[in-house]
Amino acid sequence: MFLNKIFISIFCILFFYSTPGFSIRVESDYAYLVDYKTDQILFEKNSEKIIFPASMSKLMTLYVLFDYLDKGLVSMSDEFLISENAWRKGGALSDSSTMFAEVSSYISIENLIRGIVIHSGNDACIAIAEGLSGSEELFSIEMNFLAQELGMINSNFKNSTGLHNDEHYSTAKDLVILAKALIKDFPEYYHFFSEENFTWNGIFQPNRNNLLTEGLGIDGLKTGRTSESGFSIIVSSISNNSRLIAIIGGLPSKEKRTSEIRKLINFGQKGFKNFILFDEGEILDNVNVWGGRKTLVGISIPNEISLLLDIRGRRFLNAKYSYNDPIIAPIKKGEIIGKISILNDNNIIIESNLIANEDINKANIFRKVIEVSKYLLN
């Protein structure tokens, strides 16, 4: 048995698209733009640089809370106390990141979520942390546990709010992992991120994500700012059936943050076109079977493979696939028997398994004798 590797050109299946390609320069300390479905990187700048995530940290607080809700440990109608600690540290003494909750009041989890998502309320975050874990210190342990499970290997959370702490950090890449997980794991709660305003205690506040109404397809997620982090934002945007996740940070003003994230989203939406490279179930090749009632089995693509490609990406696209030759019977339909990699130049941009397209049972003893005889004669 040996590993058979085959290179194929897929340029011929792509037609040139008339829109001219373009590149951008993003004026931020870091930036990261990826396709939600495929993890394809469309733009990257310092994506693994250690950063202070500021209020983007609240996405991790929400992920922990949504996990509790999903497991039925708490419900939307449950109410948590606004302790004096939450009121002072999260509201009265903070830089206006508050839902204006009254000390000693009880607020439902549903409204605390709105206070976090829309108002960026530090008081709401601390109430959640104390209500679920007893303290922010214990809650941060849960935050870090789930962060590691998600693969956020360069993140460490010390509080639920994102208020500055030198040991509280993350990366653009990790925060994109988190944003994707929120959308994928808890779709039933994602609607909160697109709510445009919220009034609590008689005080009206618009969603701090001011791009929700700009016609860019943005439906969440979170802004952030401290004096140490600068202005930052992570967003999700849907256009032409593609969802993009984008993050920028380290900017000097809200206005600059808005213009730079707008530029990055426009680049992703207008500079790339979606191409279906292989259809679901498409048979790529027929390969040898050893010891089976059939001598060949088709290897196929289990799921559609599509990519967002700019003009250069379309020109230099190719693929390679590999499998053990021959495949040993018995074989089950859907069994993984190979792998395909899509490359741009020599860089792998997406990989997929290859599967058998039918069942093949073992051959009877007489057929095996014939196969061995042919092998020996060759």
What CATH code would you report for 30-270?
Answer: 3.40.710.10
pLDDT at residue 4, as a whole number: 65
pLDDT at residue 22, as a whole number: 54
Q: pTM value? A: 0.80
pLDDT at residue 267, as a whole number: 93
Q: Does the N-terminal peptide bond of residue 330 adopt cis geometry, omega within 30 degrees of 0?
A: yes
pLDDT at residue 344, as a whole number: 77
Q: What is the dihedral of CA 259, 250, 313, 238, to 10 degrees?
A: -50
How high is the mean pLDDT in each 10-residue block of the chain (378 residues)? 60 40 81 93 95 97 98 97 90 66 96 96 96 97 98 98 96 98 98 95 91 90 95 94 95 95 93 85 89 89 85 74 86 91 81 91 64 52
pLDDT at residue 207, as a whole number: 92
- Alpha carbons 165 and 102: distance in angstroms, whole number: 26
- Alpha carbons 179 and 156: distance in angstroms, whole number: 16
- Residue 227: count other Cβ atoms within 10 Å of its Cβ: 9
Fold of the domain built from segment(s) 2-14+276-377? Peptidoglycan synthesis regulatory factor (PBP3), Domain 2 (2.60.410)
Answer yes or no: are the C-beta atoms of 211 and 246 closer than 8 Å.
no
What pLDDT, in 10s, does the model give residues 84-135?
Answer: 999 988 764 444 589 999 999 999 999 999 999 999 999 999 999 999 999 9
Judge if 2-14+276-377 and 30-270 fold alike in CATH terms.
Answer: no
Q: Where are the domains of the chain?
A: 2-14+276-377, 30-270
Phi, psi of 210 (to 5 degrees): -75, 0
pLDDT at residue 266, as a whole number: 93
Q: Between vectors from CA 39 to CA 34 and to CA 44, what angle results, nearest 5°?
A: 40
pLDDT at residue 366, as a whole number: 52
- Alpha carbons 7 and 2: distance in angstroms, whole number: 16
| The pairing of beta strand 317-325 with beta strand 336-344 | antiparallel
pLDDT at residue 378, as a whole number: 55
Which residue has tokens 């030198």? 166
pLDDT at residue 3, as a whole number: 62
pLDDT at residue 18, as a whole number: 34
Task: Sort 12 into a burial class: Cβ within 10 Å, 0-12 / 13-18 / 19+.
Answer: exposed
Answer yes or no: are the C-beta atoms of 241 and 71 closer than 8 Å.
no
- Alpha carbons 175 and 102: distance in angstroms, whole number: 31
**Amino acid (one-letter) located at 215:** G
- Alpha carbons 304 and 115: distance in angstroms, whole number: 40
**340 - beta bridge partners?**
321, 352
End-to-end CA distance of the chain: 15
Q: Between vectors from CA 61 to CA 55 and to CA 65, what angle results, nearest 5°?
A: 150
Catalytic residue ranges: 55, 58, 120
Helix (H, G, I), strand (E, B) or coil at 129: helix
**33 - beta bridge partners?**
43, 246
